[in-house]
Structure 1
Amino acid sequence: MEVKEVKPPSGYGKPPWVFRGSALYQLHLVKAETARAFVPKEFKLVEAFGYTLGGFFLASYDDSPVGIFDEAVGLPSQAARFSKRITAIPRQSESKANGFLGMIGVGTAFNKPMNCLDIQVTEVKGPVATDICTISVGTAALAKAVPEPNLNKLTGPVINMSLPSFSGRTEYNPHLLKYSCQIECRIRAVHPAKVSGLPVKPKNDTEQSPEQQSSNFVDSMTRELGENERNLSISVMLSKPILALEFNCLKMQVGAPIIVFPCSKNTSRSC
């Protein structure tokens, strides 16, 4: 394995880069055949009974080297717009919402949210904007609504952890890059966010000239390649959640990237 440091991009300051805010980390059971599309061939996929672990990381940064922004980590990376709307969650009786869990002693395992944050994720490529999915987060911290009494007491214990992060293998950077990531935050288990995809638009069956058909075929092939990557990402987010963790008072330090596997000049983008 070859490891080589990469010169940090200009304009972001010197590493480590520090990000502060809050985040939701959600772990899912993902079909192995779906996950393989995202795993470089140099790595072996850990799976059992046709499934592996995946998920997504939804973050809202109040401070970072590039200012305030949101991100949803799902491959492949693309610039996106996040439209947010906060709604109140109707109160339910204890017997209806938590009766059985209370009987077996785990009814208070999750903190009940007071508000719901609906996030519409829209992919932006130049002048073209495409709605991707909607993420409904039922957590008070990410929703940033009216502060609840004693909210700081409900944000969980302080933890420190180190996680590797990978990127690259794109038309802009063909190498596989690895980043060191140090995280300090308060953590608590929460109800999983609900992810909803978008309905498939019906095809247009109107008659077209051969020139129009040829042009539309090229456009369709280009669009389908992008849509295939997008649909694979959405399928991961739509898979079955098994654990959701909320990170409050998040401080994340990201080190300079290193090249783990260089991409040969003779190989394609998907090498």
Structure 2
Amino acid sequence: MFLARYHDSPAGAFDELVVIAGIVWNPPTSCAWAARVLVNSVEACRHGRKEVGLPSHVATFSKTIGDEPLARSNGFLSVLGIGSTAPKQENRREIEISETKGSSTRHLCSISMPLTGSHKHHKWMGPAIRMSLPSFSGQTEDHPDLLKYSCKVECRVRPVKPARIWNPRTSEPQECSDGKINSVGSNVLADSVAQSQSISVLLSKPIFALEFSSLRMHVDAPKIFVPQCKKEVGYSST
């Protein structure tokens, strides 16, 4: 997952949550595949769908700030300077994300994360890096073709504690006994299944978390990607 707040963009300021369903190997590198993109801006949603071929959806990001007792410090994080001299209370940002479609709203997930810049002992911002992140998009209603684009990123990066994400209040989507989606209202149910799968990704066990600060991102215009077919090799025996 990728959670970001953009202060400036072609679509203005907005918050974004990207659910990355998988990493696709495309020699000589790998590419991220975004299965669902949530933004709290109608213009950002339109831009993502029309210009980049992303599966963007409009959502609300309700934020609150609170204090909570810290758990016992992690040895590995202490080596990196995270948590070894932490205060007894930790300021956290709570974010509740709900998808909006017309007049209806569906709760997706709640995220709790340390408030950036709230701890004075976290003076290390991490190294300044530049990188290019190739990604796939498309195969959507607005862009039926498979697209490939690249994000050029300049930022500072450092390891942080993973955010905590917990179950939504909504129920599981309804399916037939054979696991197939009902034909009646299939578009609605298909979207519910896609949302449920996105929740499964968000609730999976975190492996590593990084904070990107002072971030500047340039997204190249996507291009139609045509996979190259491998030539078949024939074999004969005598």
TM-score normalised to the size of structure 2?
A: 0.67
Q: Contact conserved, 1:110 with 1:191, CA < 8 A, in 2? A: no
1:68-113 deviation digits (Å, cap 9, x = unpaired):
10101122331211111111233x4xxx712x72xxx752435248
The match for 2:198 among 216, 222, 233 is: 233
Question: What CA deviation, in whole Å up to 9, does each residue of 1:116-150 have, x standing for no partner?
Answer: 11111111112221111111112424xxxxx5547
Unaligned segments of structure 2, at least 5 residues: 20-34, 37-54, 174-181, 228-238
Instruction: Tell me whether 1:125 sits opposite 2:105 in the alignment.
Output: no
Matched, 1:61 2:3: no
Corresponding position of 1:27: none
Is 2:42 aligned against 1:97?
no
Where does 1:197-208 land on structure 2 (aligned, <5 Å)?
197-201=167-171
Is the contact made by 1:110 and 1:189 (CA closer than 8 Å) also made in structure 2? no
Compare relative contact order (CA 8 Å, sep 6+) and give the higher one, 1 or 2: 1
**Residues 57 and 202 of structure 1: CA distance in aligned 2, closer, same or farther (over 3 Å):** closer
Q: Which of 209, 225, 228 lines up with 1:244 in the alignment?
A: 209
Aligned residues of 1:110 and 1:190 also touching (Cα < 8 A): no
Letter in 2 for 1:218: V
The corresponding residue for 2:131 is 161
**Which residue of structure 2 lines up, in the alignment, with residue 111 of structure 1?**
82
Alignment of 1:1-271 (within 5 A): 56-74=1-19, 75-76=35-36, 77=55, 78-90=57-69, 92=70, 97-98=72-73, 101=75, 107-109=78-80, 111-112=82-83, 114-141=90-117, 148-149=119-120, 153-201=123-171, 218-219=184-185, 221-261=186-226
What percent identity do the matched residue pairs reach?
Answer: 42
Amino acid at match of 1:162: S
Contact 1:139 1:190 in 2 (8 A): no
CA distance in 2, matches of 1:239, 1:202: 16
Q: Secondary structure at the match of 1:97?
A: coil
1:116 is paired with a residue of what secondary structure? strand
Cα-Cα RMSD: 2.7
CA distance in 2, matches of 1:68, 1:178: 24
More helix by share: 1
Gaps of 5+ in 1: 1-55, 142-146, 204-215, 263-271
